[in-house]
Amino acid sequence: MSGGDNDVVLIKGNKRLDGRGFDELRDIKMEVSVLERAEGSAYIEWGKNRVIVGVYGPRELHPKFLQDPTRAMLRCVYNLAPFSVDERKKPGPDRRSVEISKVCAEALSSVVMLERFPNTVIDVYVEVLQADAGTRCAGLTAASLALADAGIPMKDLVAACSAGKVQGQIVVDLMKEEDNFGQCDLPMAIIPRKSEVVLLQMDGKLSRDEFKQAYKMAVDGCMKVYEMQKNTLLGSMNKFVGVEGGVENGD
Amino acid sequence: MLNVKDRDLVIPGQLLGSDLFYDINCFTENGSVFSCVEGMVRVDGKKVKMVPSNGVYLPKRDDVVIGVISDVLVGKWLVDINSPYLCAMRAEEVSRDAAKKDLSQFFKVGEIITAKVADVDEVYSCQLIKPWKVEAGLIIDVGPKRVPRVVGKQKSMLNMIRDKTGSRIIVGQNGKIWLKGGNVDLAVSTIKRIEKYAQTQGLTDQIAELLDKESAAAGGRFAREEPCSCGHEEEHAENDSF
C-alpha cells in the first residue's frame, strides 16, 4: 500500500477496474485432494491468486520438549514462491511471511480440535504460486479446506475475505491495483457458524463508520466464500458414497 | 430433533440436530450436536454417528495392526504403526529371559510384524502383544478410516475376497494390509476399489459380481493357502461400521 495515490483511477462510474461492483468478489475456484502424498490438500484460484495448501499430520513432534500432552500443536508455513510476484521475490522466510504464518496458525488453531491429538503436530503448508492481493485470505480459506480434507476434527471451517477503501469508496475483495494504490486494506477471517472473527488486520486508515461498513462487507464476502467451501467439500465426497462414478467402471 | 437424514454428506461444523446421542466425531454446544469431520452421517433413532472419509489411525485396544520395527531398545522395541504415536512392545512377548539377550536376534530395525494392541492410555501410548514376523507377501496402504469397509459386516467382505482370490490377507486396522498367495493382483485392485467407493450402498454385492467376472477372466479360482499360526488372519476386531 503506497498510502493512496490519487492520480490512479481505480473506479469509473460505479464499476471497478475489472468491471466488478463494490460488493462483488473475484471469480473463485476451489479443489481438494490435489496432492497424493499429503494427508489433506487444497488448491484455490481466487482471481489471479493461485494457492496450494498441503496438510501433514497429526504426526510426532520433534524436538520432544515442544510436545504438549494436553493438545497438539498447529504450525503454519506461508510461503510466496519466487515467481509469484512481478519482481522475483528472494526465496525463504521474511518478515512478512513469518507474520502471516503466525496469524494463520492462530486463526486455524481456534477451530481445530487440538486436544484430540496430544503430543503431536499438525503442519499446514501454504504455498502461493501466483499473488494478486488477498493471498492470506485465499491461503486461509484453502488451509481450512485442506484440514477438513485431512479428516482433522474441526468445530467449523474458516472463511476469509478482505475489504478496503479505494478512492474513498468501501469495496470488498481488493485486487492488486486497488491494494497498491488504495487507501486501506482490511483482511478478515471468520468462523461462519457463529460469525466469530479469527483474523483481522488493517493496513491504512478508516474512520469508525467506514470501518463498520467495511467490516460488514467483509463478513458478507466471507459468507459467500463459505458457501463455496461447503459445496467443494460436499462435491469431493461423491465418490466416497458412490454417487459419482460406479464401482463397476471407475478405477 | 434432527436436521439431517440418514446417509447425508456433512462438513465440519454442520448442525446435525439437538437432543441426540452422538459419537466421537461429533461435538455439542448449547444442547445442539454438530459434526466435526467431513463424511457421511448415520442416524439410528436418537443416535447419530459420523463416518469420516479420511483421517489418521489412533490406536485402540484389541486392534490387529501391521507395523515396522523402528528401534530396538533394552527390554523393548519401538514399532511404527502408521499413526502419530509410536507403540512399544515388551521383550517378554518373545522370550522369558529377555534381559540377557540382544533383542535384535528376534526382530531387527526395519522388519515388519503384525501384532495386537493391548493397552492404550489417554495420550495414546500403547503396548503391542503377540507379534508375528511378516516375511513374504505384499503390503498395501488404505485409508485407516476406510478399513472397516474392507473387512465388512462380520468380516463378510474380507472372507469373500479371500474365497474368490485365494489370497491370505491380514488387515491391519491401521490401514496396512498384508496379502500373500492366490490372485494377489485381483485382491489388491478389489481392495483399492473398496477404498475409493467405501460408503456406496450395496457395495458387497457389487464387489462380489465384479470379483466373479474378473476371476473368471484370470482363469478360475486359486486354492487358498493355509493361514499362519499367529491367528491374526481371523482375529480382526469386530468391525464397527453400519
Per-residue pLDDT tens for B158-216?
A: 999 998 888 899 999 999 999 998 888 889 999 999 998 888 888 888 888 888 888 78
- Please give the residue of chain A at the shortest CA–CA distance from B15: A193
The band of A108, judged by pLDDT with boundaries at 50, 70 and 90, is very high
The CATH number that applies at residue A226 is 3.30.230.70
pLDDT of A44 > 90? The answer is yes
Count the domains in chain A. Answer: 1
Task: Give the pLDDT of residue A245.
Answer: 64
Q: A168 in a domain, yes or no?
A: yes
Would you call the peptide bond into A118 cis, given omega within 30 degrees of 0 as the criterion? Answer: no
| E strand segments, chain A | 11-12, 15-16, 28-32, 40-46, 49-60, 73-80, 120-130, 159-166, 169-172, 184-191, 196-200, 203-204
Residue showing cell 521474511:
A94
Please give, rounded to a whole number of angstroms, the shortest distance from the CA of B139 to a CA of chain A: 17
Q: A177 in a domain, yes or no?
A: yes
Whether residues A151 and B38 touch (CB distance < 8 A) is answered with yes
- The segment(s) of chain B belonging to CATH 2.40.50.100 are 9-52
CB atoms inside a 10 Å sphere around CB B205? 11
For residue A115, the SS3 value is helix
Task: Give the pLDDT of residue B98.
Answer: 78
| CA neighbor of B105 nearest in space, from B72, B135, B80 | B72
Whether residues B145 and A151 touch (CB distance < 8 A) is answered with yes
Range of A157's domain? 14-236
CB atoms inside a 10 Å sphere around CB A122? 28
pLDDT of A23 > 50? The answer is yes
pLDDT of A140 > 80? The answer is yes
- The segment(s) of chain B belonging to CATH 2.40.50.140 are 64-134
Whether residues B197 and A250 touch (CB distance < 8 A) is answered with yes
Task: Give the pLDDT of residue B226.
Answer: 67
| E strand segments, A91-183 | 120-130, 159-166, 169-172
pLDDT of A199 > 80? The answer is yes
- Please give the residue of chain A at the shortest CA–CA distance from B83: A59
pLDDT of A86 > 70? The answer is yes
pLDDT of A251 > 80? The answer is no
Task: Give the pLDDT of residue B96.
Answer: 85
**B24-65 pLDDT, tens per residue?**
999 999 999 999 999 999 999 899 999 999 999 999 999 999
Give me the CATH topology for the region B64-134.
OB fold (Dihydrolipoamide Acetyltransferase, E2P) (2.40.50)
* Cβ proximity of B23 and B36 under 8 Å: no
Q: What is the grid cell recorded at A28?
A: 473463485
The band of A239, judged by pLDDT with boundaries at 50, 70 and 90, is confident
- The segment(s) of chain B belonging to CATH 3.30.1370.10 are 138-217
Instruction: Quote the pTM value.
Output: 0.92
Q: What are phi and psi of B2, to 5 degrees?
A: -110, 140
Separation of CA A64 from chain center: 30
Label residue A128 exposed, middle or buried (CB < 10 Å: 0-12, 13-18, 19+): buried
Distance CA A53, CA B45 (A): 39
DSSP B228: P
Task: Give the pLDDT of residue A249.
Answer: 56
Distance CA B4, CA A7 (A): 55
ipTM over 0.95: no
* Region B138-217: CATH code: 3.30.1370.10
The DSSP annotation for B47-75 comes to EEEEEESS------TT-EEEEEEEEE-SS
Query: Which residues of A fall within a CB distance of 8 Å from B200?
Result: 241-242, 247
Q: What is the mean pLDDT of residues A96-123?
A: 96
| CA neighbor of B157 nearest in space, from B220, B214, B202, B96 | B202
Query: Which residues of A fall within a CB distance of 8 Å from B39?
Result: 151, 237, 240
* Cβ proximity of A191 and A111 under 8 Å: yes
Q: A2 in a domain, yes or no?
A: no
The correct answer on CATH 2.30.30.100 for the domain covering B9-52 is no
